[in-house]
Copies of this chain bind each other. A is one copy, B any other.
Amino acid sequence: MLDPARTIAELRALHGLTGDRHGAQRVAFTPSWNAARAFLLQKLADLPVTVETDPAGNLWATLPGESEQELWIGGHLDSVPNGGWLDGCLNVFAGLEVLRRIQGESAGRPPVTVRLVDWADEEGRFGHSLYGSSAVSGHLDPERAGVLTDRSGVTLRGALRGAGIDLDCASAAQAQRRKAGAYIELHIEQGPVLERLGLPLGAVLGTCGALRHLITVTGRAAHAGSTPMDARQDALLVLGRLSGEIYAVAERHGGVCTIGSVRTAPGIPTSVVETCEFTLDQRHLDPAGLAALWQDARASLTRFCEEGGCSFTVAELFRIEPVPFHPDLIDAGEQAILEVTRAAHRLPSGPLHDAAQVARAGVPAVMLFVQSLGGLSHNAAEDTRTEDLELAVRALDRLAERVMTWMGTRQAHGAADGETARRGR
């Protein structure tokens, strides 16, 4: 029988073992992360599962089923430094509870093979987010990853070696994908949407694509006292107009736009701003929407510069395409939520998740989000109501059940792997 209270108790015990007064400290490949994995292994020991670590360092617990087709339930034990008690490990321990329930009810032989996966270094200690799931999806480049270091100068390659992993062989973890039939993951929302709607749970549509630009606007330095307002070429005014315009742009196309970092030169009180440098981050679930966000922002920037006697240059800092989840599984996620609570909501994920890597590799995937109090995450104040956590575990369990049924139907109708891959993208 499913026991969501046990999940919460396990999460609290884990936090007691690995956290401190500054928050969670389960940073990948550190002793406290090892302690978290040891805690998980101890819990898995009570189940008739085979446990293995793949060549990238991801931990797999496999419960064989009637079919070799696999349902994956994923999460990540690692956290950012001074992180929250739920981010990533709620996923793992809720998955563990679902695995227990399936094993118990099916007398050890579920219809499909069920695997719990704890992805390694989701948070990107070395600047490479989703390290472990990238290896499995085939998106890890050992040459690029080989030069990465953490904030203390420790290399990714060295940290892996300390864990018995050879970075150059990590991509062999792709072999895990051979029998993958579907992937599900529960995560805290890390945003305010569900809280504002008063809903505990939502089905995630996919992860947004992101475009990040560094924009430099150049006007003309001029004495703050002797230069009339209509004789100014004020680079700050261009930023100011754009800071409001991005709200209209996002209103028009959906998605989000953020100006997060600003620098001004000469940067003294007595001079009109000559140069204003700032970042513009834009995210959208749809590639065309993402392109439209940047096209509109750029057009406005061009106009504001022309009207203000300024010029600008642009450098692309970062780009990732949107990853939509599988429509059937999104439906299943919504139905699973409606089994445990009165209403569901569909929402995109702004942040990236391991589920996106799995989906990019062609495995049908979906996520559930549970409400985050205050939308907070990546700090010690991260929290979710106990009753919502319990509902989340129940919903994940219902989703697992529905996806197993879906996998059976799909297999019966002979859905080719090629079709799976195409629809999952």
Residues of chain A touching chain B, judged by Cβ–Cβ distance below 8 Å, are 189-193, 196, 208, 210, 212, 222-229, 231, 234, 236-237, 239-244, 247, 250-251, 256-264, 266-273, 276, 279, 281, 283, 317-318, 349-351, 375, 377-378
If A223-B377, A258-B270 are given as contacts, then 13 extra A-B residue pairs at C-beta distance below 8 Å, sorted by A number, are A191-B228, A191-B231, A192-B222, A192-B228, A223-B350, A223-B375, A225-B350, A229-B251, A236-B243, A240-B242, A259-B273, A261-B267, A270-B281
Tell whether, in the assembled complex, residue B259 and residue A225 are in contact, meaning their CB atoms are under 8 Å apart.
no
**Which residues on the B side are within 8 Å of A260 (C-beta)?**
224, 236, 264, 266-273
For A208, what are the chain B residues with a Cβ–Cβ distance below 8 Å?
225
What B residues does A271 contact at CB under 8 A? 258, 260
Contact B257 A229 (CB under 8 A): yes
Shortest 3 CB-CB contacts between residues of A and residues of B: A225-B350, A191-B226, A240-B243
CB distance B191 to A227 under 8 Å? yes
> How many monomers of this chain does the complex have?
2
Provide 13 A-B residue pairs closer than 8 Å at the C-beta atoms, listed in order of the A residue.
A191-B231, A192-B226, A196-B231, A222-B375, A224-B260, A225-B283, A225-B350, A226-B349, A229-B256, A229-B257, A237-B244, A261-B269, A262-B264
Closest to A213 in B: B269
Min Cβ gap A193→B in Å is 6
| A243 to B383 CA separation, bound complex (whole angstroms) | 37
Q: Min CB distance, A318 to chain B, in Å?
A: 8
Considering the chains assembled together, what is the distance between the CA atoms of A334 and B33 in angstroms? 80
Known A231-B196, A231-B375, A262-B236: A349·B267 in contact at CB below 8 Å? no
CA distance A262 to B240 in the complex (A): 11
With a cutoff of 8 Å between Cβ atoms, the chain B residues found around residue A268 in the complex are: 260-261
| Min CB–CB distance A227 → chain B (angstroms) | 6
Whether the Cβ atoms of B243 and A239 lie closer than 8 Å is yes
Set of chain B residues within 8 Å of A378, measured between Cβ atoms: 223
Measured CA separation A290–B319 after assembly (Å): 47
Inside 8 A of A231's CB, which chain B residues have their CB?
A: 191-193, 196, 375
